[in-house]
Amino acid sequence: MMNVDKLYDNAARNGVVCLGLDTSAAYIPEGFLAGFNTVGEAVFEFNRKIIDATCDAVACYKVQIAYYEAMGLEGLAAYSKTLKYIKSAGQLAIADVKRGDIKETAAMYAKAHYSGDFEADFVTLNPYMGMDTLEPFEPYFAEGKGCFALVRTSNAGARDIQYLSADGGRRVYEIVGEKLKALGEKHMGARGYSAVGAVVGATNAEEGATLREKLSTTFFLIPGFGAQGGRGADAAVYLRDNNGGTVNSSRAVLTRWKKHEDGAARFDSYARAEVLDMREQIVVTSY
């Protein structure tokens, strides 16, 4: 079974939340952090407890590699162990690496993140250097792997390039989305979605229904919820029949414990509570 089919099934069973393990030492209770020899060890054990508390309530996990790279080798060890633990828990992992480079280099990125120590089920890609940067990832789609390529992101600077007018007055992000959909038609799963997904920010919801209609066979990774200003109703616009996308939240889940007096001792329980609250906030509307 293709991973995009598994993701669809997870979203149908567990809800559409993608829990982002963008884990900073600042998110970890001091007492918990002090119990380990290295920050890397503490980060992994923190992640492990979060995963144990939430794996039946999320569609997948997204692990942002930058937080781990910033810790050096011990951070990369924590990154690898986190990916392996997600797999052992029967869940899916998105490696948030946003790669995008010429073919030979991209082939090495594909090997690095679809196999070996950093193996994940999906990777995030940046196609704005050209569609040929995605080609080295395609052979892995036949093995079930998938990707989420940037289309229209949630940051304010997205308008600098993604919103420029191009052929026939279409915006650049619309053209990128069309090209990704065309590529994805060669790699369709059994649930009606392709292995080639798209990153579409939960902000600017007025455009969401149009994107959902045009990219009908593209599974969405939807960042921008919560801390970045996206609301539940905004995210729901990008869904279809309560599925077809997964809505990411990171900081709000990992730091929910800070709002409670007993939070340090129950950070994993409060992470689960945030996930469940988030599921309720996403107003599920069919399009």
Q: Give percent helix, percent strand, percent coil of the chain, each to the nearest 5.
A: 50, 15, 30
| Secondary structure E strands in 100-241 | 122-125, 146-152, 196-200, 220-222
Quickly list H helices, 185-266: 208-214, 232-236, 251-254
* 286 has a pLDDT exceeding 50: no
Instruction: For residue 209, give the nearest of 176, 179, 244 by alpha carbon.
Output: 244
Task: Give pTM, 2 decimals.
Answer: 0.95
Give residue-wise pLDDT tens across range 226-261: 655 556 777 888 999 899 999 999 999 999 999 999
Torsion over CA: 191, 192, 198, 204 (sign):
negative
Instruction: For residue 230, give the nearest of 148, 153, 126, 124 by alpha carbon.
Output: 153
* Number of neighbouring beta carbons within 10 Å of residue 69: 13
* 269 has a pLDDT exceeding 60: yes
Which has more confidence, 108 or 281? 108
What are the structure tokens assigned to 131, written together?
């569609």
Give residue-wise pLDDT tens across range 91-109: 999 999 999 999 999 999 9
Give residue-wise pLDDT tens across range 42-91: 999 999 999 999 999 999 999 999 999 999 999 999 999 999 999 999 99
What's 177's DSSP letter? H
Provide, rounded to the nearest whole percent, the portion of the chain with pLDDT above 70.
95
Give me the chain's average pLDDT, please. 93
Q: Return the active site residues.
A: 98
* CA neighbours closer than 13 Å in the CB half-sphere of residue 235: 31
What are the structure tokens assigned to 12, written together?
């149908």
Secondary structure string (H, E, C) spanning 35-65? CCCCHHHHHHHHHHHHHHHHCCCCCEEEEEH
| Secondary structure E strands in the chain | 17-20, 60-64, 93-99, 122-125, 146-152, 196-200, 220-222, 245-249
| Contact (Cβ atoms closer than 8 angstroms) between residue 146 and residue 114 | no
